[in-house]
Structure 1
Amino acid sequence: MPISREYARSLFVDLTKSAAVPLDPDELLHMPGLRRHGHVFFGDVAVRCYKYKARWTYDERDIRAAGGTLAELDMDRDDVVDVQLPPYRDLPERDPEEWQRPNWRRQLVSWMFDGARYKLFREERPYEEGADWQAIGANGLPGGLSWEEFAASSSKYPHLRNIAGTRPLQLLTWSGENWRLPRAYADLLDRWERREEELVARARLCSSCGDRGPYWGEWRTATKEGYATRCPPCSRAAFQPYTGHLRGVPYEKHRRRGSRADDYLCRLCKESQASAWDHCHEHGFVRGPLCGSCNSSEGSRHPNYFLERDGGTLHLLECRACLEERTLPSRYSQYVVREHLMRTERHGRCRKPPYVREVEHADGVHRFHLECSGWHTASNWTRDVTAAEVVLLVQAFVDAALAAQEGRRA
């Protein structure tokens, strides 16, 4: 029986109250491995994710089975083993995919040095003070980091301080010479590494031709039934390219007519099956079919990511009103102005572009705070940009994008 993520979390919490391993039930809400392999891990126990009526769900039987297994897991906290942690960034010349593979020991090292870098930044010490922030202290932590500081920095982002749905920092101890973990827990994480590798290896295979795709799941495409793996050639063979036949059609009118986006190839990346009709939320016109990844990047990622990718600006201009008015959705306007200020504003004779962020918007005036990024004494100032100036800057940005398109055609 499919159950919601929220109910699955509540049920899982009840089932694992007596679990010896510290668990993070919020993993059932975040679903960190969804794109890579479609499962949520708690130790070596994998819970499969399902898509039901366009919502991600779980099977109640899977949640009960996982909760029961973890509740019965025996762990003696006094039976500990030394954890041999690798050196910091120990893979400079190996396969880049190696960095993406599950490795809980390397993850612990990464957290420790992240804490040391944060301490360095907070104390405003020059980065050139070099290797001292990487030196391991008597407590096993780098950069003079205390355990209290390490725990405090980790508590700020608890969902990022999990390994396989468990909280290792609650079990990690320092003997004076080595880091230690309960033997049963270390064995559990070793089994998780192997199990996750198996699921990722299976999910990398194209469902049509069997070719193996990139490790991070670039061939994985969100569909109405869940994620599917299909290589770009198979996608281009299976789905038709979008030719712009809905350009200028209002999205609501199109919804009533009911053309399916998943019949098309994503018009932006042109490598994956589309999953949704992207549209301009300010003017209401259809822009075109996008795959789940491209659609998410347009709606939720930072504007610069989308505008700087090939074809991103031109896709936004598929909205008839944006094209005719030579404008962009408002969330992109701030980015255009910010980039303009970074190009044109300087602190005295400093050549480095300043840091720019909008701090106020009132009475048609956008106020930006600028801070010099040079190595000399920092300087702060503000810059007001009127609504009329914003319009002109955005129009110039759009004109440049259209001119570049004409240049490519020529």
Structure 2
Amino acid sequence: MLIGRERARSLFTDLTQSATVPADPDELLHMPGLAHHGHVFFGDIAVRCYKHKARWMYDDRDIRRVGQTFAELRVDLVDIVDVQLPAYRDSADDDTQQRQGADWRSVLVSWMFGLARHKAHDGVPYAEWTDDWRQVGVNGLPGDLTWEEFVAASSRYRHTQNLAGTRPLELLTWSGQKWLLPRAYVELLDRWEEREDELVRLAQVCSSCGGQGPYRGGWRTSTSSGYVTKCPPCSGAALQSYAGHLRGVQYESPRRRRTRADDYLCCLCKESQASAWDHCHGHGYVRGPLCGSCNTRECKATPERFLQLDGAALHLLECRGCLEQRILPRRFHLGVVLAHLEQTERHGRCRRRPFAREVEYLHGVHQFQLECFGWHAKNSNWTKSVTVSEVHALVRAFVDATLAEREIQPSRKGP
């Protein structure tokens, strides 16, 4: 019998009350590995997720099996070993051939140094940032980070600071020279790494041709019945290309409801099976079919980042209302302004593009702060005021430029 996520969490909590490994039952709500392999882990034990009537659920029998198995795990808190954490490397240090696969030791290090960096830079002007936060103190933590702050942050960001559904900081200790964990718990997390990698690779096998996709790549897409994996060639061969036949149709129209989005290829990335009909919330017109990833980007990505995607602006203009009025949805207006300021504003004679962000809106005027990313010793910040009417003018100019670019690209179908 399938049960909801809340019921699954409650049942798992009851079954694991006597467990010696600290677990976080909220993993059953957040489903961190859903898009990657469709399972939730507790240690090296995986529980499968099911989609039924557009809701993610669990099999009652799976929850009982996983809960009982996890409760029987035994950890000797006296038998402890050196965790042997790797050196910290941030994204700027990594080359393009980054490691693939689960690595719980590196994740633990990234929590420590990420929090230390945030503490060191919080409220400090960019030009005054230093790398002192990288230095490890006598307490084993980098920068000025204290153990109490580390634990507090782990509780505050609970659903993002678990390892395989377990709470490592409840078992982690500092000897004065090295970090220690119970041997059985270390072995449990090592087995989780292997099982996690196995499930991810299995989930990246194309269901049509059997080809192996990239590790946690973009072959998986959400559908009404769950995630499916198809390589771009198989998706293109099996699915229809959207030709704009619902352009000008209202989202609530019976005509739209008679057409399944998952019969089509995503009209934005043009690689994955679509899962939903994207539409303009302001005018109600259908824009086109999008896959789960592209639909999420349109809704949740920063506006300026979404507008940088190839074809994104033209996709927004698939709405007849936006096209006729030469506007974009309101949430994208400031994204247009930010991009304009970064392209046109400069600090004195500096040729570097600044970073812009809105800091205040008052009496019809947006106040933006621009910063030169520390290329100058000091005084690299300045402000720029943009009125509402200027915002509208910039958006109109952006739309006109987008449509003009479409006209000189005859191979691209537009509204």
Aligned to 2:367: 368
- Contact conserved, 2:304 with 2:338, CA < 8 A, in 1? no
Q: Distance in 1 between matches of 2:209 and 2:322?
A: 40
How much has 1:18 moved relative to structure 2?
1.7
Q: Does 1:106 align with 2:88?
A: no
Q: Which residue of 1 aligns with 2:52?
A: 52
Matched with 2:148 is 148
Pairing of 1:150-229 with structure 2 (within 5 A)? 150-229=150-229
2:28 — aligned with what? 28
The SS at the match of 2:252 is helix
Deviation of 1:156 (Å): 3.4
Over 3 Å counting, the alpha-carbon distance change for 1:257 and 1:173 in structure 2 is closer
Taking the aligned partners of 1:13 and 1:382, their CA distance within structure 2 comes to: 53
State the 1:370 CA deviation.
1.8
For structure 1, list consecutive stretches of 5 or more residues without a partner in the other structure. Answer: none
CA contact (8 A) 1:306 1:312 kept: yes
Spell out, residue by residue over 1:342-368, the C-alpha distance to the aligned partner (whole angstroms, 9 max, x if none).
Answer: 344556666652532153365xx2422
Alignment match, 1:405: 406
Secondary structure in 2 aligned to 1:383? strand
In structure 1, the partner of 2:241 is 241
Relative to structure 1, the CA distance from residue 95 to residue 395 in structure 2 (aligned partners, 3 Å threshold; closer, same or farther) is closer
Alignment-mate amino acid for residue 401 of structure 1: T
* Deviation for aligned residue 1:371: 4.7
Moved more, 9-18 or 102-111: 9-18
Cα displacement (A) at 1:128 = 7.1
1:282 is aligned to: 282
Q: How many angstroms does 1:144 deviate by?
A: 4.3
The C-alpha deviation readout for 1:142-181, integer Å capped at 9, x for no partner, is 2343323333443432222111111111110011222110
**CA–CA distance in 1 between the matches of 2:76 and 2:298?**
49
Structure 2 distance, partners of 1:337, 1:228, is 38
Residue 396 in 1 paired to residue 397 in 2?
yes
Deviations 1:349-392 (A, max 9, x none): 66652532153365xx2422425445413656462412x32221
1:21 offset after TM fit, Å? 1.2
Deviation at 1:198, TM superposition (A): 1.1
Amino acid at match of 2:15: L
One-letter amino acid of the structure 2 residue matched with residue 44 of structure 1 = D
Return the offset for 1:3.
Answer: 1.3
Letter in 2 for 1:404: E
The whole-number CA distance in structure 2 between the counterparts of 1:296 and 1:122 is 29
The corresponding residue for 1:258 is: 258
Say if 2:384 is the partner of 1:385: no
Separation of aligned partners in 1, 2:122 and 2:259: 54
Question: When the two structures are superposed, what TM-score results if normalisation uses the length of structure 2?
Answer: 0.90
Q: Does structure 1 retain, via aligned residues, the 8 Å contact 2:34–2:49?
A: yes
Change (3 A) 1:156 1:126: farther
Instruction: Indicate the SS of the match to 2:195.
Output: helix
Shifted more, 153-162 versus 320-329: the winner is 153-162
Task: Return 5+ residue gaps in structure 2 as ranges.
Answer: none
Structure 2 residue 309 is matched with structure 1 residue 309:
yes
Q: Post-superposition shift, 1:322?
A: 0.8
- Look up the SS of the partner of 2:8 in the other structure: helix
| Identical columns (%) | 60
Partner of 1:11: 11
Q: Which residue of 1 aligns with 2:2?
A: 2
- Decide which moves more: 87-96 or 104-113: 87-96
Q: 1:126 to 1:154 in 2, by over 3 A?
A: farther
| Aligned 8 A contact 2:368 2:383 in 1 | yes
Using the TM superposition, give the Cα deviation of residue 219 of structure 1 relative to its aligned residue in structure 2, in angstroms: 0.2
1:97, CA displacement in angstroms? 5.2
Go from structure 1 to structure 2 and tell me whether the alpha carbon gap of 1:305 and 1:344 turns closer, same or farther (over 3 Å shift). closer
Report the residue type matching 1:355 in the other structure. A
Equivalent runs, 1:312-351 vs 2, <5 Å? 312-345=312-345
- Classify the secondary structure of the residue corresponding to 1:139: coil
Give, in angstroms, the shift of residue 256 of structure 1. 6.2
1:147 and 1:334, CA in 2 relative to 1: closer, same or farther beyond 3 A? same
8 Å Cα contact 1:345/1:354 also seen in 2: no
The 1:233–1:371 alpha-carbon spacing in structure 2 relative to 1, beyond 3 Å, is closer
Could you tell me which residue of structure 2 aligns to residue 37 of structure 1?
Answer: 37
Which secondary structure state, in structure 1, belongs to the residue aligned with residue 357 of structure 2? Answer: strand
Whole-angstrom CA distance in 1 between matches of 2:215 and 2:209: 17
Matched residues in 2 for 1:106 and 1:377: separation? 37
Call closer, same or farther: CA 1:379–1:290 in 2, change over 3 Å: closer
- Secondary structure, in 3 states, of the residue corresponding to 1:357? strand
For 2:130 and 2:302, how far apart are their aligned partners in 1?
33
Taking the aligned partners of 2:102 and 2:394, their CA distance within structure 1 comes to 46
How many residues are paired up? 405
SS at match of 2:313: helix
Q: Which amino acid aligns with 1:145?
A: L
Distance between the aligned counterparts of 2:362 and 2:207, measured in 1? Answer: 50
Rounded to whole Å, the distance in 2 between the matches of 1:390 and 1:134 is: 41
Cα pair distance change 1:406/1:256, threshold 3 Å:
closer
So what's the TM-score if we normalise by structure 1? 0.91
